[in-house]
Amino acid sequence: MKLSPEKSVSLFFCIAAGVVLACAFDKTGAGFAAWFAPGLLLVGICRVSGRTAFLFGLLAGFVHYLLLLYWLVPTMHRYGPMSVWLSFFALLLLAFYLALYTGVFAWAVTLVPVRPVFLVVWVPVCWVALEYAKTFLFTGFPWGLAGYSQYRYPVLIQSADLFGVYGVSFFVCAVSAGLFLFFMHLFHGRWQNRLVGQGAAVAGLLITAGLFFANGGYGMFRLSEQDAAGKPSSQLRVSVIQANIEQSLKWDDAYVEAILDKYIRLSLSAAEKQPDLVVWPETAVPFYFFNDAKRTRRVLDMAERMKKPLLAGAPAYERREDSGGLDLFNSAYLIDHRGRVKGRYDKVHLVPFGEYVPLKKWLPFVGKIVPETGDFSSGRPGRLLSAGNADMGVQICYEIIFPHLSAAMVRAGADILVNITNDAWFGNTSAPFQHFSMAVFRAVENRRPVVRAANTGISGFIDPAGRIRASSAVFQTTSLTRDVAPAEGKVGFYTRYPHLLPGFCSAAALVFLLAGLRKGLRTRRAS
């Protein structure tokens, strides 16, 4: 099919939107690119029908997610039973699914016949509603939300304590829509047969400037407020251990002793800095705790030898009383300074096709991408672990990408958020940086410090304002020690109402879409 020159230009802008948005999440730190991506997509769909807008949006999203999630191919090929071509096909399927949200966004913004100036509100409302849907549908995959692209700009993300990462996504999309109006006026462009006049362009610029002023002003106020608060009354000194264990060796029984030796050596060295807590990453203990008595004893004895509490990631199991079968868990054990287990947190939100197979009863032919990890069960939500003067909300790996899970931990009484993870799967790609950026937002949203221990990086410490106080390089063997201040029980607005803004955007989008569909149906009947 031959495309008209006009549609060819539209396709170019849609593809450019996908590429530019992907650049905002690259490890180069070009987060400002996100301010232009939605606007480029608007240029691409400004003069097409709703059906064509959906297809163009689907293309933009497909390009974006292919570039954003490219690291899935080497991950699935190297550590899963999948060929390169099958891994690439799986990436195509996931990118297509996620691109459907972008396609629906493009369709939605063209369906409702708003005046150009109202795009500054309508665009972010639709975008946030679909990000919220992406967080929950089919177990949820809120990876690469627009707001995360801003994690390197502390001043611009402080409003996350009011509306979460969704609020920052709203800000990014509103700014992009305002810039779109200005440039469309400069080039005498139209939005759905409406000329973008001078008034709309001026209004777009004023709204954009107002958003920057309000968001930036609030950010500077909150940062200065925290800096003026001075030294907190109590602090917890924490050491995180990044042993940098190669994933292909991690579950090889021949290397277990060497892995334990490395963790013990790094921990004893860190203990010289007198930490109140030592943290090991997810599944740092590469065997089922208590199943191997001798090796378990080595870990317990090390905590007693350090005379420091240890939080260590390890798989766990429980025997069912009714059937005698086993429930397996991806867990974190808290071991006190006397070598006694004082508590255990079991991962609640598991990785589909990585830690379990959804609908396994009906899909017996589908296996896990990474078979070595076991078929885990979900733990009990809201379980805190206490170390010294702090109640810790532990988030294992994938859980940190879900804003409402961290908020629930803080509402339950968590003073500190601890994220333990194993990002060795991702290699030297953008994925560890993308994953780390989400931990920054959990700190700001809940005004809690985040301690992060990763097997191969990025490990680090994030203060309640989202500032990265210390971090490790990827694939570096190291330990980091820093004082963190447990929060004093105050729960902020977002933590109390994490679903307020995205829920409002979802309801508003649904109402206006239904109105747009009804009006379109009446028009077709009349014609």
Residues labelled as active-site residues: 282, 347, 397
DSSP 387: E
By the 8 A CB rule, do 363 and 357 touch?
yes
**Rounded CA gap, 225 and 373, in Å?**
44
- The whole-angstrom separation of Cα 465 and Cα 121 is 27
CA geometry: angle 65, 69, 70, nearest 5 deg: 110
The residue among 123, 206, 237, 216 whose CA lies nearest residue 169 is: 123
DSSP string for 168-182 = HHHHHHHHHHHHHHH
Strands 236-242 and 478-484: antiparallel
Lookup: tokens for 45: 């769909």
Identify the three-state secondary structure at position 379. coil
Helix ranges restricted to H, 333-430: 403-411
In 3D space, the residue among 231, 190, 208 whose CA is nearest the CA of residue 121 turns out to be: 208
Contacts of 165 (CB under 8 A, 6+ apart): 145, 147, 148, 403, 438, 441, 445
Exposure letters 242-273 (e unless 16+ CB within 10 A, then b): bbbbebeebbeeebbeebbebbbebbeebbee
Tokens of 358: 């959804």
Phi then psi dihedrals of residue 470, to 5 deg: -160, 145
* Residue type, position 471, single letter: S
Query: Hey, what are 124's tokens?
Result: 């972010």
User: Is the distance from CB of 252 to CB of 403 less than 8 angstroms?
Assistant: no
CA quadruple 261, 266, 271, 277: dihedral sign: negative
- Per the listing, tokens 């203060």 go with 463
CA distance 414 to 386: 9
SS in 3 state form for 389-415? CEEEEEEEHHHHHCHHHHHHHHHCCCC
3-state helix, strand, coil split of the chain in percent (to 5) is 55, 15, 30
Q: CA–CA separation, 279 vs 282, rounded Å?
A: 10
For 68-127, strand residue ranges (E) read none
Structure tokens at 496: 């109390």
